Amino acid sequence: MDNALNFYIDGRWSPPACASRLAVIDPATERPIGEISMGSEADVERAVAAARRAFPAFSTTPLDERLALLRRILDAYLERYDEFAEIVMREVGAPRELASRWQVGLGRWHLEELIRVLPSFPFREARGSTLVAREPIGVAALITPWNWPINQIVCKVAPALAAGCTMVLKPSEVAPLNAILFAEVLDSAGVPPGVFNLINGDGESVGAALSRHPDVDMVSITGSTRAGIEVARLAAPTVKRVHQELGGKSANILLPDVTIEAAVKAGVDACFGNSGQSCNAPTRMLVPAERYDESVEVARRAAEAHRVGPPDMPGTTLGPLVSQLQYERVQHMIRVGIDEGARLVTGGPERPADMPLGYYVRPTVFGQVTPDMTIAREEIFGPVLSMVAYRDEEEAIAIANDSPFGLAAYVQSADLERARRVALRLRAGSVHINGPAWDPGAPFGGYKRSGNGREYAEWGLEAYLEIKGIVGYGD
């Protein structure tokens, strides 16, 4: 990749201030697939200054120009779609079909949805004699994760552009190559110089410098709760807006009237998607006590039906975890579950015996999990399912809500009205009833320690806007 060692600042590729590099590792082979430069505070200063210079002109561009820009970005994105899929497969370890259809497909769908909603968005709204104006907030720092990298980049960059903001993107240094390719897409689509800037680096240097920078008006971060807290702490002295999409420990309530075979299998598959590396994964399966043993047996079969293997091998459903660090954390949490007395139904610590290389984890199911156990309360971020028994509907709701997180929740029931009643009582930003199709227009974000604010479609657009009330405008 020609631009891997450069940063995209003020409309051109330029070398970093310091000559520090980091290898990008293929998690399936544990071997480097490339190198990136690591940014410094000097690079942040250049990028923020470029974004600040570009803001006055870009913030006043007509809506139809910004809409035309998004359409050109979508066209350029589709032209390089297969390149994105190949890169994501190699740097994240996502199986080929998942990388193409979902990892890269989500970016396309975000762009299409924003193009749909932007023409009718109420940037100006009359309320009596008062005009409510929604205006771009300014320079946005965008900090994105490695697990769904291009998805999270697009769902921040696209609404920021649509709102009229300028920005500096710091993607995860674990999976940065797709971000470099996206910067090339934006350049080819004609994004004006300084409007979009890209710096690679880690959170301790580039992320921290962006978060505390006085000329950054907001920070949007998707990442761990720990990282979100640190960004908020650094941003506090400048009172900038902090938009957070953080961790989760989502409950999946199976009500007593479900067909156990289908409901449990669907829950296992959803938990293990992307090798369990999704913040909204349904990692706590809550099942009726009277059907618990049956449910556990179905979960065992469903887990063992998954095929762990190289992401480019046909039939692979679970690729490797993204890094050695993530592999070690998941192994530690599996051992904690065993030590605290949960029953290991299938899977367990250590990699599959026939896979000596790669950060592979055996798909794991725990039974006899109680709500106070670590594996029922902390985010694991791997293919690990905790199964919890409940006595009645009230207890199921109480267990689901008894969590420091509140990103997502899931309800399955043959009685739709009952599922709706339960869904309305769950303290989570997204609730899914009976495995619905993904909706790019639904707001995405969490309650409690899962963050604040919402992303996707008009909800994401609102995140980058300030509200001004002009009283007497209509008199």
Residues serving a catalytic function are: 245, 279
DSSP string, 30-93: TEEEEEEE---HHHHHHHHHHHHHHHHHHTTS-HHHHHHHHHHHHHHHHHTHHHHHHHHHHHH-
Which of 208, 218, 221 is CA-nearest to residue 171? 221
Q: What is the number of other CB atoms lying within 10 angstroms of the CB of residue 439? A: 14
DSSP string, 339-357: HTT-EEEE--SS--TT--S
Would you give the DSSP letter of residue 274?
G
Judged by DSSP in three states, 19 sits in coil
Write out 116-144 in H/E/C secondary structure. Answer: HHHHHCCCEEEECCEEEEEEECCEEEEEC
Contact of 193 with 51, CB cutoff 8 Å = no
Contact of 206 with 170, CB cutoff 8 Å = yes
As a whole number of Å, the CA-based R_g of the chain is 23
Helix (H) or strand (E) holding 397: helix 393-401
Token pair recorded at residue 452: 């604040």
The alpha helices in 236-385, defined as continuous H runs, are 260-272, 292-304, 324-339, 374-377
Residues contacting 126, CB < 8 A, separation 6+? 132, 473, 474
The CB-side HSE value for 422 (13 A sphere, CA atoms) comes to: 31
Contact of 232 with 389, CB cutoff 8 Å = no
Token pair recorded at residue 82: 């297969």
Judged by DSSP in three states, 338 sits in helix
Token pair recorded at residue 49: 């200054």
Residues contacting 423, CB < 8 A, separation 6+? 409, 411, 431, 433
Which of 314, 309, 387 is CA-nearest to residue 351? 309
Write the burial class of residue 79 (CB in 10 Å: 0-12 exposed, 13-18 middle, 19+ buried). Answer: exposed
Cα–Cα distance, 444 to 59 (Å, whole number): 25
